[in-house]
Amino acid sequence: MLKKIIATAALALGVTSAAQATYLPAYLTTNDPYNATLKISDVAGTEIESAKLYLTFADVTNNTWTTKETISVKLDGVLAGTIYNVGSDYTTYSFNVRPSTLSDNKLDLSISLGCTPAYYIFCLDQDVWLKKILLDIKRVPTKPTVPTTPTEPTTPTTPTTPTTPTTPTEPTTPTTPTEPTTPTQPTEPTPPVDVPTEPPVVTLPQPPVELPADPTTPPSEVPEPATLLTLGLGLMGLAAARRRK
């Protein structure tokens, strides 16, 4: 196995945009990953707007021993992307780099390979060639910071007069519950008055009895009211008979 070359690339960058290519042919395997630190020179009056990392890989043994590579790329310990099944021809892959990761003017690069399972017993090593590393950084002039206007001191507020505590109101005397009213018993219905079917008997007033001047003389006999009624009815019947004739 070829000995891997680990180098540190110092990139000289311009104000607006620049890139420095580092040619590092290295042979990577499952048990022999690649680690490097890319250092970046600081440019006064500028700040990094965007950055991209370009890696060029090839699997020269792909034609004789076919294995599907799994390449993991980490930037500052964070997984940036995964590449699968590298061909025999050199191919360049790009990865976005956050400007915040370059605030310390360096970038830690780590490249590792997986393994290919064989017959469910063991794992075959994967291998690949790393031909080129290119870190492209775009810089822009630093924006001047606008001085903030000092805020005017706030006027102290006048302390408020403490409020007089209110006298607690006396508790109201609970009202005595009223006794429940006794339910009135229903009155019995009055029985119906029997209306007499027979005509009422009319009692005629009796004429006053004249008392004799001499109390020893017995009074004269006074005819009874029934006798007078009978006589009157007879006279009425006689008058009615005459009219009919």
Q: What is the pLDDT of residues 191-240, one digit of tens each?
A: 555 544 555 444 544 555 454 555 555 555 555 667 778 888 888 888 88
Residue 166 phi, psi dihedral angles, 5° rounding: -80, 140
Hey, what's the torsion of the CAs at 6, 10, 11, 13, to 10 degrees?
A: 170
- In angstroms, rounded to a whole number, what is the distance separating the alpha carbons of residues 170 and 27? 95
In tens, the pLDDT along 162-202 reads 677 677 677 666 666 666 666 666 566 565 555 445 554 44
Look at residue 187 in the predicted model and tell me its pLDDT: 62
Look at residue 88 in the predicted model and tell me its pLDDT: 85
Residue 94 phi, psi dihedral angles, 5° rounding: -115, 150
Residue 202, Cβ density class (10 Å: 0-12 exposed, 13-18 middle, ≥19 buried) = exposed
In tens, the pLDDT along 14-57 reads 333 344 445 468 999 999 999 999 998 888 999 999 999 999 99
Look at residue 180 in the predicted model and tell me its pLDDT: 60
Q: Is residue 122 scored above 70 in pLDDT?
A: yes
Tokens of 118: 């064989």
Sheet with 106-113, strands from edge to edge, namely 10-11, 34-40, 106-113, 70-75, 78-84
Residue 147, Cβ density class (10 Å: 0-12 exposed, 13-18 middle, ≥19 buried) = exposed
What is the value of pTM for the model shown?
0.51
> If DSSP codes are grouped into helix, strand and coil, which group holds residue 243?
helix
| Short-list 136, 102, 110, 107, CA closest to 21 | 136
DSSP for residue 95? E
- In angstroms, rounded to a whole number, what is the distance separating the alpha carbons of residues 131 and 86? 13
Chain centroid to Cα 239, Å, comes to 113
Tokens of 60: 């020269």
- In angstroms, rounded to a whole number, what is the distance separating the alpha carbons of residues 72 and 138? 25
